[in-house]
Amino acid sequence: MLGAVEAQALLPLAARRELPALSLLVVAVTTLLIVNPAFRTPDNLAVLAQDAGILGIMACGQALVIITAGIDLSVGSMLALSACVAGSLMMRGMPWLVASLCGLVAGVVAGLVNGSLITYRRLPPILVTLATLLLYRGLTNVATGAAPYNILPETFKMIGKGTAPLVMMVAVGGLIALMVARGRLGRHILAVGGSPLAARLSGVPPDAVLRRVYAISGLCAGIAGLLLAAANGNAQWNLADGWELDVIAATVIGGVRLTGGEGSILGAMFGAMIIVVLRNALFLLGVPVEQYGLVTGGVIVLAALTEQWRRRVESRQ
């Protein structure tokens, strides 16, 4: 297995995991800024910052899961669950900071349930999170009566406006990237993703690591849920419905290896920004929503080919 994230710094610049995603992002943004005046309007840039920040935070949590050779299909449902927990408490008069904390706790608990089912019951991650995708969404629908929580404090709504979500993504992603690169848990995550057996023989508890990783994924989904509710001015059960594939696509485009053991949090954030920028460009060009998948799928294939090339370059070092 390639070593920890620090080992990537020893590679030539052409082989760095984040470079392809960053290059594509720079080219896409530069081209759109030049050829499409609507893209560079303040209102459109604010929408881009909101969407990229929210999707990027979810991608950071998903990246950790995929690095451990797992997958979390329930991130969109956990987002809605966290947002509705916080929204319901705010409408009952609870201070928004306290209500937001409760929403984050709900996300962490949901993530821990995923991790516990995977580690204690030895169920496949894709099966567990597919089930909880449906369960969390259904429970949120039942608990809310499918009614939105749309009377939220103005101070709470401010955290979802303008560049605030993007700034939050940088903060969250930076902390997670630092943890992966320097922290003990980060080293354990990379070890478990590379080989659970080798990690166990080295004294690393794979099950405990996995539970923490899924809890972090739930926390990231909770943070994204609060930001999305604030940006929309309401919390409802169908928030982020169908976003799961976008989140996974962002991590793949950003260079996270689906088989585990390798990945970049920074790359996952770049991947999220690429998806948001490309979809915004398609919207401005008047392309039907039903055709967006053609572009996203094409970018994923391109990312896979780039990863294959990068590994060849890497093997020659």
**Residue bearing the bigger pLDDT, 315 or 22:** 22
Q: Please give the full DSSP string across 221-273, using - where no structure is assigned.
A: HHHHHHHHHHHHT-B-TTTTTT-HHHHHHHHHHTT--TTSS---HHHHHHHHH
pTM value > 0.85: yes
Say how many CA atoms lie within 13 Å of 99 toward its Cβ.
25
User: Is-contact 200 206, C-beta < 8 A?
Assistant: yes
Residue 235 has φ and ψ, to the nearest 5°, of -120, 130
Which helix (H) or strand (E) covers residue 135, if one does?
Answer: helix 125-144
268-278: pLDDT as tens digits:
999 999 999 99
Q: How confident is the model at residue 12 (pLDDT cuts 50, 70, 90)?
A: very low
Query: Of 218, 14, 256, whose CA–CA distance to 103 is shortest?
Result: 218
Q: What is the mean pLDDT of the chain?
A: 92
pLDDT of residue 312: 81
Residue-number span of the structural domain to which 28 is assigned: 5-315
Q: How confident is the model at residue 299 (pLDDT cuts 50, 70, 90)?
A: confident
pLDDT of residue 296: 82
**pLDDT tops 80 at residue 16:** no
For 131-138, the CB contacts below 8 A with 24+ separation are 132/73, 132/74, 132/77, 132/78, 133/73, 133/74, 133/76, 133/77, 133/244, 134/77, 135/77, 136/74, 136/77, 136/78, 136/80, 136/81, 136/110, 137/76, 137/77, 137/80, 137/81, 137/237, 137/238, 137/241
User: Is-contact 110 74, C-beta < 8 A?
Assistant: yes
CA angle 231/233/239 to nearest 5° reads: 75
The average pLDDT across 213-223 equals: 98
The number of folded domains in the chain is 1
The average pLDDT across 232-236 equals: 97
Say how many CA atoms lie within 13 Å of 70 toward its Cβ.
36
pLDDT of residue 316: 78
Buried b (16+ CB within 10 A) or exposed e, 256-293: bbeebbbbbbbbbbbbbbbbbbbbbbbeeeeeeeeebe
Q: How confident is the model at residue 317 (pLDDT cuts 50, 70, 90)?
A: low
- Please give the Cα distance from 263 to 240 (Å, whole number): 24
CA angle 151/229/98 to nearest 5° reads: 75
**pLDDT tops 70 at residue 4:** no
The average pLDDT across 34-63 equals: 96
178-206: pLDDT as tens digits:
999 999 999 999 999 999 999 999 999 99
User: Is-contact 284 43, C-beta < 8 A?
Assistant: no
Q: Three-state SS for 173? A: helix
**pLDDT tops 80 at residue 15:** no
pLDDT of residue 258: 87
83-102: pLDDT as tens digits:
999 999 999 999 999 999 99
CATH number of the domain enclosing 69: 1.10.3470
The average pLDDT across 255-260 equals: 89
